[in-house]
Chains A and B, each alone.
Chain A
Amino acid sequence: MILERIEALLPDAILDRHDFRGDLTIVVDGGRLLEVIDLIFTEGFQMLLDITAVDFLDRDPRFDVVYHLLNLTNQDRLRIKVRVNDGEAVPSLTSRFKCADWSESEVHDMFGLRFEGHPDLKRLLMWKDFPGHPLRKDFPMDGGDIFCDDTGASYAGDATSLQG
């Protein structure tokens, strides 16, 4: 239903889609994310529940940024994915949804992705000078060697080369 609307009004916006266990998923191009969000907002998907990301280390593009949306009227759910590489920016949804503020900060904190247009992108769960991004697949499970100097600033030891 919603897919036909998107395809009719924004042809070629959907790069890929699947429907596993009833979870409708579409993959859209990062550049067209805001158009798609605006369209489905008028179609009733007015609640952004969650933003997260998945790191596929060996894939190109490396990351999936995942948005979960809910239509409060007919209770449909939609998952939107944007594929990005390390260093590429994703358009921020803070201008559309207020709750995107922390969710995007968390993805930035955990995966090191940038959100274009976010007013205050910062470390949210980890501390300010934490080296590396914990939910990346190449971040070691034990946290690596993270030290503090005399001023209380953190830096990564030799065992990690995770800056970025």
Chain B
Amino acid sequence: MNPTNSTTIQREGDHMIVNLGPSHPSTHGTLRIVMELEGEFVVKATPEIGYLHRGVEKLGENLSYHQFIPLTDRLNYCSSIMNNVGYTLAVEKLLGIQDPPRSQVIRVLVSELARIGDHIVCVGINAVDIGAFTAFLYLFKERETIYDLFEMAAGQRLHTSFTRIGGLMRDLPENFLPLLDQFLESMPRTIDEMEKLLTHNPIWYDRTKGVGKITPEDAIAWGYTGPCLRGAGVPQDLRKAQPYLGYDTYDFDIPIGTTGDVYDRYLVRTEEMRQSLRIVEQCVQKLKELGPGPVIVDDYKIALPPKEKVYTRMESLIHHFKLVMHGMDTPVGEVYSATEAANGELGYYIVSDGGKSPYRIHVRPPCYPIFNSFDEQVKGTLIADAIAVLGAMNIIAGELDR
């Protein structure tokens, strides 16, 4: 087999080697899977990754802590705000600070919206891969609203860079909450419609039930996190287990599956969308109770002072200059901070030598260990099932390759 050709079809005895990717429409970004087939059955599937490797970790060693935020957008680009939140939480843990209460609520709000958006992509595209096109269209209408909301909040639809170290880039604009109310009203109906199209659809059921089963023990040994782990019946969710951003003050449930197959993962994701809507509703309530307030810490050695102060006060101008030119002072040490992203545990490991950039920054992407198990998951199954499994794993090449 010559792996340099983009599409190789070659006979080896009765086995056929087929290349999926690097840009096959069903492979979710630039992935490549070399499949050894015996008829329609998969004998061996070898994922080849790294096509989207941009050296994020190396770049991070030469950027200041603030400058790394836009790079986190490009990890899981389906829910970039959650990457922003996870990263800033890691740096805040290193600094030993906490963002103001209003910022925490807004972070939870946008994270849960991003989670819904991510699950929409995963469920919608998984259905498209299997041949159910309609559900995708219903869902993507709602995803547009989520992106409109992100655009209002951060000025960007996809690459939000919404958080700052110690808080947020800015408060939510006035017209954010009215549109969010519309979304909260229409989204449950869309989930119902999607469930009517998929949950009891015999074709969807046959194509997903029992496909990609995994035992809880195997899931843990493979390092599964997120919906894939919960689909296997392990109730591990960092929002409940190791609450951050005050998640312990919200009322929500953790759905779990029983067999870990594609159908269970779908059900878990569907229910998580509903639970996220519950959290968003509570966030709106909390925002009303909190009233206006600061959304970023009042420490000008960490966060930039407001522009009007920079233009009128000497100290603020100096702070601004020092922060931009020299960065912030960080303690020497190392932290690992994990948040529950849409795909699972998104971890940031930062080693600081006290300089303005991290000495080493490492991202633990949730889909990396999950994709590692792909061969074991699809061995002996039909090639069509392999596509269903791949979709339900929700592999995002941006965070996989970094």
Q: Please determine whether B359 and A135 come into contact, CB atoms closer than 8 angstroms.
A: no
- Which A80-100 residues sit within 8 Å CB-CB of chain B? 97-99
B319 nearest CB across to chain A (Å): 25
B162 nearest CB across to chain A (Å): 24
Q: Please determine whether B369 and A68 come into contact, CB atoms closer than 8 angstroms.
A: no
Interface residues on B, range: 35 or more
**Cα distance A104–B196 in the bound complex, in angstroms:** 44
**Cα distance A23–B241 in the bound complex, in angstroms:** 16
Interface residues on A, range: 20 to 34
Q: Please determine whether B223 and A68 come into contact, CB atoms closer than 8 angstroms.
A: no
**CB of B93 closer than 8 Å to a CB of A:** yes
Q: Please determine whether A68 and B242 come into contact, CB atoms closer than 8 angstroms.
A: no
**CB of A29 closer than 8 Å to a CB of B:** no
**Cα distance A152–B334 in the bound complex, in angstroms:** 40
**CB of B142 closer than 8 Å to a CB of A:** no
Q: Please determine whether A23 and B335 come into contact, CB atoms closer than 8 angstroms.
A: yes
Q: Please determine whether B335 and A101 come into contact, CB atoms closer than 8 angstroms.
A: no
Q: Please determine whether A23 and B221 come into contact, CB atoms closer than 8 angstroms.
A: no
Q: Which residues of chain A are near B220, meaning CB under 8 Å? A: 46-47, 72
**CB of A154 closer than 8 Å to a CB of B:** no
**CB of B134 closer than 8 Å to a CB of A:** no
Q: Which residues of chain B are near A127, meaning CB under 8 Å? A: 50
B90-112 vs A, Cβ < 8 Å mask (1 yes, 0 no): 00011010000000000000000
A-B Cβ contacts below 8 A, count: 89
Q: Please determine whether A23 and B334 come into contact, CB atoms closer than 8 angstroms.
A: yes
**CB of B234 closer than 8 Å to a CB of A:** yes
B53 nearest CB across to chain A (Å): 4
**CB of A118 closer than 8 Å to a CB of B:** no
Q: Which residues of chain B are near A152, meaning CB under 8 Å? A: 4
**Cα distance A55–B359 in the bound complex, in angstroms:** 9
A131-149 vs B, Cβ < 8 Å mask (1 yes, 0 no): 0001100010100000000
Q: Which residues of chain B are near A46, meaning CB under 8 Å? A: 220-221
**Cα distance A19–B401 in the bound complex, in angstroms:** 31
Residue of A nearest to B401 (CB): A125
**Cα distance A23–B351 in the bound complex, in angstroms:** 12
**Cα distance A135–B57 in the bound complex, in angstroms:** 8
Q: Please determine whether A68 and B58 come into contact, CB atoms closer than 8 angstroms.
A: no
Q: Please determine whether A21 and B53 come into contact, CB atoms closer than 8 angstroms.
A: no
Residue of B nearest to A25 (CB): B334
**Cα distance A127–B48 in the bound complex, in angstroms:** 10
**CB of A113 closer than 8 Å to a CB of B:** no
Can you list 29 A-B contacts (CB < 8 A)?
Answer: A21-B93, A46-B220, A47-B220, A48-B223, A49-B345, A50-B347, A52-B349, A54-B351, A66-B349, A68-B336, A72-B234, A75-B242, A97-B221, A98-B218, A98-B221, A98-B373, A99-B221, A99-B223, A103-B369, A110-B57, A125-B49, A125-B50, A125-B53, A126-B50, A134-B55, A135-B57, A135-B360, A139-B58, A141-B62
- Top 4 nearest A-B pairs (CB, nearest first) are A99-B223, A125-B50, A20-B333, A99-B369
> What residues make up the interface of A, taking CB atoms closer than 8 Å to B?
20-21, 23, 25, 46-50, 52, 54-55, 66, 68, 72, 75, 77, 79, 97-99, 101-103, 110, 124-127, 134-135, 139, 141, 152
